[in-house]
Amino acid sequence: MRTRYNAGITALGGYVPDHILTNHALEEMVDTNSEWIVSRTGIKERHIAIDKNIATSDLAVIAVERLLANAGLDKAAVECVIVATSTPDYIMVSTASVVCEKAGLTNAWGVDSNAACSGFLYALTLGASLIESGRYTNVIVIGADKNSAIINYEDRNTCILFGDGAGAVLLEQTTEDFGLIDNVFRTDGSGKEQLIVQAGGSKNPSSMETVTNKQNYISQNGRVVFKAAIEGMTQTCKEVFRRNDLVADDINWLVPHQANLRIIQSVGDILDIPIERVKINIDRYGNTTAATIPLCLWDYKDDFKVGDKVMLTAFGAGFSWGASYLVWGKLRGQ
């Protein structure tokens, strides 16, 4: 009989740049105020890579180095790297290949996954599938974005929301009943215009015109995205509940994408999961896109106990959204 493998998270790493952009600093840049930002989004500050030479890969590499140090894993043992990002270093050349080179992961192959704020969850299930197949024993999955590279700091609607950061998890093969158990994912391309960077791709290559019209920056219809995020995240979580005979009381921790505190609170309320069991760090980091969920896992890793049932959920551009259910296992070194 063929051995059944699960993919468990066994180590984590995270990184945000040192420079902090506070709400009060934004008051000097655009027509806004800290009280309004906090009341509408829950964000008090965000970390920004102000060095122009710092790319998304650099954020990811530091997260990976911290992961490897925590895992006590030799670089040569890493087999695969998947990077979820919407802000790749280059249009042509995967950020994963740059991360492998910079981090010295000479025996790993790498690939990028772009599903915006849902990217980490999509990449996580791709990595888990490689392990469940039996072909690989470990995969590093990274969520990393340098959002400051695509933010218009004259746009009060978007510049208050986003920060830079990276989070990484090590998935390893196990025959125990831990790891990623189930996912429900959805996409709806008709929502693409509601949250998008209009220029820079093959549809609308960068030009003097796109730069002048600020089409190389994020644009968002906040009201539409807000409503769709709550609906999408709650519906997919409920579907995961149904498929796995779960109720809200079974879930030890809800780890949602950190886009807006009011969205997070609404999702928890609709799912009947009390706020004490919802992981939140948006107040310190803002929306780091693909990095929000792995940064939450990194921040709160000491709270997760072996056997804890954890629900991850996200919504992002595309539209893309979904939920993942995992049972927490033992981290390396514990």
Q: Is 274 exposed, middle or buried (0-12, 13-18, 19+ CB in 10 A)?
A: exposed
Residue among 163, 123, 157 nearest 143 (CA)? 123
Q: Which amino acid is located at 126 in the chain?
A: L
Token pair in block for residue 53: 């030479």
Token pair in block for residue 49: 């890579």
**What contacts 35, CB < 8 A, 6 or more positions away?**
none
Cα(49)–Cα(317) distance, integer angstroms: 23
Residue among 93, 19, 8 nearest 57 (CA)? 93
Q: Is 29 helix (H, G, I), strand (E, B) or coil?
A: coil
SS in 3 state form for 274-320?
A: CHHHECCCHHHHCECHHHHHHHHHHHCHHHCCCCCEEEEEEEECCCE
* Radius of gyration (C-alpha) of the chain in whole angstroms: 19
Q: Which amino acid is located at 110 in the chain?
A: G
Q: Are 320 and 115 in contact (CB under 8 A)?
A: yes
Q: What count of other Cβ atoms lies within 10 Å of the Cβ of residue 72?
A: 9
- Rounded to the nearest 10 degrees, the angle between the axes of helix 261-271 and helix 222-243 is 30
Q: What count of other Cβ atoms lies within 10 Å of the Cβ of residue 192?
A: 13
Residue among 168, 167, 195, 170 nearest 285 (CA)? 167
- The 8-class DSSP code of residue 150 comes to G
Cα(186)–Cα(319) distance, integer angstroms: 8
Enzyme catalytic residues: 117, 257, 287
